[in-house]
A and B are shown apart, each in its own frame.
Chain A
Amino acid sequence: MNEGDQIELLLVEDNPQDLELAQRALKKANLAGSMHIARDGEEALDFIFCEGDHCGRNVLSRLKLILLDLKLPKVDGLEVLRRLKSDSRTRTIPVVVLTSSQEQSDVLESYGLGVNSFIVKPVDFEQFSATVQELGLYWLLRNHPPQLEK
C-alpha cells in the first residue's frame, strides 16, 4: 500500500499562518496523525485524483475528511469542490469548507455543489481552535462514512 493511502484528512490551505494555527489546533486534539497538506487547488486535485506526485496513490483509498479553503491559488476551492463532487469515485468524501468569507454567494454555491458543511473561520483563535477540533473529532471519529469497494 502507498503511503498516501493511509491519509484520512486532507487540509487544503494556502495561508501559512492559518495553516500553522490549524495544525496546532489539530495536533492538540491528536488529530494531525494521518493528515496531508495541499497548498493550492492544483495540489489538492493531484492528491485527490492521484495524479502528478501522487500517481501511486489509490483514488479509492478512503479519505475521511477534506478541509477546504475557498480562496486558493491556481485552482480555487469551489472548482476543487465541483471536480470532486462530480466524480463518482470521490463524490462521497465529506468536504467541509473552512473559509474567511461570509459571502452568501459562496455559501449557496458550495451547498449547490454538495458541500457537507460550511464554516466561517472566526478571528478569535480560541474559537478557531475549538471549531477545528470539533470538526476533526466529528468527521474523523464520530462520523460513519460509506465503505467503498477497493
Chain B
Amino acid sequence: MTTILQPENSGSDPEEQVLRGSDAFFADVFWSTPDCVALVRAVDGTILKANRSLCQLWKTTPKDVIGKTFAHFSSWLHEDERLDFKRRLESDGECLGFEATLRMMDGRDVVFELSARILTLNQESCILNIRRDVTEVRRIERALKTSEVRYRRLFESAKDGILILDPKTGEVVDANPYLVDLLGYSHEELIGKVLWDFGLVEDAEANEKKFTELSGKACARYDDLPLKTRDGHRIDVELVSNVYPVDGEDVIQCNVRDVTAQRTAERDVALLNATLEQRVLERTAQLEAANRELEAFSYSVSHDLRTPLRAIDGYSQAVLEDYGPQLSGDGERYLQTIRAGAQQMGTLIDDLLKFSRLGREAINKRTFSTANLVQSALEGLADTHENRHVELRIADLPASHGDPALLKQVWVNLLSNALKYTRCRETAIIEVGSHPENGGTAFFVRDNGAGFNMRYVDKLFGVFQRLHRAEDYEGTGVGLAICQRIIHRHGGRIRAESEVDHGATFTFTIQGGQSDE
C-alpha cells in the first residue's frame, strides 16, 4: 500500500496519529466506501488511484483505470456544468456537493453529487474526486414532487370542502380553498383552531362528542350537520371522515359537502306535500259535505215532493168517484187533466232523482257480453212496439267493460228512443252495431225515424231538454242526459247525428274497451 493519501504536512502528535489512523486503515476505507473515489493528477487528469465503487460504476477493474482519464469512461452531459465545477475547484481548492449528470460509456445517464479537493501528494498537485450516484434519489424525489403536486391540485381545486384535523387535539391542520370559501373564514383563521371552539358548529358540546367519535372510528359519516359560517348564516353539510396514519401519526381527513340547497329543496317539498295533503283533506271534506247535502236534498225531494202529488191525484179521483154523476163532461176532463199533470210530475221527479243518483253511485266495472245486454234491453221494451212492424238489424258486438246495470240503462234509453221516434214509419228500421274508434270500440244505435235538426244538437243531452213537442212524442227530457252522464262516468263520449225526417244515429264509446280488468 502506498502512502499517497497521507497529506504531507501530517502532524507528529501521537493523539493525532491515533485519530488519523494507519495507512492500511485509510487504504481500506478508500477501497470499500460506497461512494466512487478516485485520485487524479491535476496537471493532466491521469487517474492515479480508483476504488471499487468507481470500477463497478464503470464496469471495469482498477488495472484498466489507472493511467487513463475520466473522459475515457464518462462525459459531462452539460459543458457549462463542467466549466462551473472546474472554476469552483480551481478558485476554492475544493468543490463539494456539486450536482451534475454524466453519461457513461454504455450510454447510461447518471446523476452525481460531485465533491473534489485539490491536494498535494509527493510534491505533486492531485485532485481527490468523490462522486455519489443520486440518480435514484432524485427520481424518487421527482416522483414524490409530482405526486404532491397532483394531490395538492385535487385538494386545491376540489368542489367539496376538505378538512385535515389532528385527532389528538381537534385542531385544524389544513383546509382547502373550497372549504375556506364555504365557511367564510380565511385559511389563516382556520389553521390551528379547535373545530368546536370558534362558533362553526352550533352545539359545541355535542360536536365535541362527535369528534371523539370521529377520531375513534376509521370512517364516519354525518348526513346532516348544521354549520354556521363566519357571517352567521346556517349551512347544512354532509361530512365523511377518514382516519389514516401519516408518518406514524394519525390524521383525520373530513370531506365536507354543502347540501344546503338540497336540504332546502327537500324541506320545501315536504312542506308542499304537507300543505297539499291538507288541501286535499279540506277539499275532500267539502266534497263530502256537498255530497251529504245533495243526498239529504234528494231524499227530501223523493219524499216530500211526491206526497202532495199523490193528494192531488187521489182527491181528484175521489171527486170523480163520489161526484162523477154531478159533473159536466168538461168537469170530468179537467179533473183527468189534473191527474195526468200530477202523474207526469211524479215521473219527472223519479227521472230527476235517477239522474242525480247517477253522479253519486259507485261504478262496478266488469267485462260482459254486449250482445246479451242489448238482447235483454230489447226484451224489456218488447211491449212498447207490440203491434208495429219493426226491423231490428243487430250486428255482432264485441264485449264491453263497465258497469252492466248502468250501461243497460244507456242501451234501454237509446233503443226506446229509436222505437219511439220511428212510430211514424210504416216499417221501423233499427240498426245496432260497433266499429273501432281511437283504440277502443264505438257502439251505435241508428234509426230511420223522425230525426232532429242538428242545429239543436247541443241541447240534446241537457236535462229536461226536448226537441219534440210533448203531444207528438212523450217524455221528460232526462233519458239522454242520463245516457251522457253514465258514459262520461265510464270515461267515454256520446254523440248524435241526424237529419230531420231521415233518422238519427247515436254513438258512444266507453274507455278501456274490453281488456281493462
Chain A residues near B (Cβ < 8 Å): 15, 17-18, 21, 24, 70-71, 99-103, 121-126, 128-129
Separation in Å of the A1 CB from the closest CB of chain B? Answer: 36
Contacts of A99 in B (CB 8 A): 303
A123-B303 contact in complex given A24-B318, A102-B350, A102-B353, C-beta closer than 8 Å = no
Is B346 part of the binding interface, using a Cβ–Cβ cutoff of 8 Å? yes
Separation in Å of the A6 CB from the closest CB of chain B? Answer: 28
Separation in Å of the B37 CB from the closest CB of chain A? Answer: 117
Q: Evaluate contact between B302 and A124: CB separation under 8 angstroms.
A: no
Q: Evaluate contact between A17 and B310: CB separation under 8 angstroms.
A: yes
- Please tell me which one of the listed residues A71, A121, A126 contacts residue B317 in the complex, with CB atoms under 8 A apart: A126
- Please tell me which one of the listed residues B304, B307, B317, B339 contacts residue A17 in the complex, with CB atoms under 8 A apart: B307
Q: Which residues 301-315 of B sit at the A interface, judged by CB distance below 8 A?
A: 302-304, 306-311, 313-315
- Please tell me which one of the listed residues B299, B304, B313, B315 contacts residue A123 in the complex, with CB atoms under 8 A apart: B313
| Distance, CA A71 to CA B310, complexed state (A) | 16
Most buried by B among A70, A99, A124, A128: A124
A100-B315 contact in complex given A123-B342, A124-B343, C-beta closer than 8 Å = no
A124-B313 contact in complex given A100-B306, A101-B302, C-beta closer than 8 Å = yes
| Distance, CA A21 to CA B346, complexed state (A) | 17
Q: Which residues 187-236 of B sit at the A interface, judged by CB distance below 8 A?
A: none
**Extra pairs beyond A17-B314, A21-B318, A122-B346 (17, CB < 8 Å):** A17-B307, A18-B311, A21-B315, A71-B303, A100-B302, A100-B303, A100-B304, A100-B306, A100-B307, A101-B299, A102-B350, A123-B306, A123-B346, A124-B339, A124-B343, A125-B339, A128-B314
Chain A at the B interface: SS class:
loop
Contacts of B342 in A (CB 8 A): 123
Contacts of A126 in B (CB 8 A): 317
| Distance, CA A122 to CA B349, complexed state (A) | 12
Most buried by A among B299, B303, B342: B303
Separation in Å of the A5 CB from the closest CB of chain B? Answer: 32
| Distance, CA A122 to CA B308, complexed state (A) | 12
Most buried by A among B311, B343, B350: B311
Chain B residues near A (Cβ < 8 Å): 298-299, 302-304, 306-311, 313-318, 339, 342-343, 345-346, 350, 353
Q: Evaluate contact between B302 and A102: CB separation under 8 angstroms.
A: yes
- Please tell me which one of the listed residues B303, B309, B311 contacts residue A101 in the complex, with CB atoms under 8 A apart: B303
- Please tell me which one of the listed residues A18, A124, A125, A129 contacts residue B307 in the complex, with CB atoms under 8 A apart: A18
Contacts of B311 in A (CB 8 A): 15, 17-18, 21
Q: Evaluate contact between B302 and A17: CB separation under 8 angstroms.
A: no
Separation in Å of the A133 CB from the closest CB of chain B? Answer: 14
| Distance, CA A122 to CA B310, complexed state (A) | 7
**Which single residue of chain B is at the shortest CB-CB distance from A15?**
B307
**Which single residue of chain A is at the shortest CB-CB distance from B300?**
A71
| Distance, CA A26 to CA B298, complexed state (A) | 30
| Distance, CA A90 to CA B345, complexed state (A) | 39
**Which single residue of chain A is at the shortest CB-CB distance from B309?**
A123
Q: Evaluate contact between A103 and B307: CB separation under 8 angstroms.
A: no
- Please tell me which one of the listed residues A18, A103, A122, A128 contacts residue B302 in the complex, with CB atoms under 8 A apart: A103
Q: Evaluate contact between B310 and A125: CB separation under 8 angstroms.
A: yes
**Which single residue of chain A is at the shortest CB-CB distance from B313?**
A125
**Which single residue of chain A is at the shortest CB-CB distance from B305?**
A100
Contacts of B315 in A (CB 8 A): 17, 21
Contacts of B303 in A (CB 8 A): 70-71, 99-101
Separation in Å of the A131 CB from the closest CB of chain B? Answer: 11
Q: Evaluate contact between A21 and B302: CB separation under 8 angstroms.
A: no
Separation in Å of the B160 CB from the closest CB of chain A? Answer: 65
| Distance, CA A103 to CA B315, complexed state (A) | 26
Contacts of B343 in A (CB 8 A): 123-124
- Please tell me which one of the listed residues B299, B302, B304, B314 contacts residue A125 in the complex, with CB atoms under 8 A apart: B314
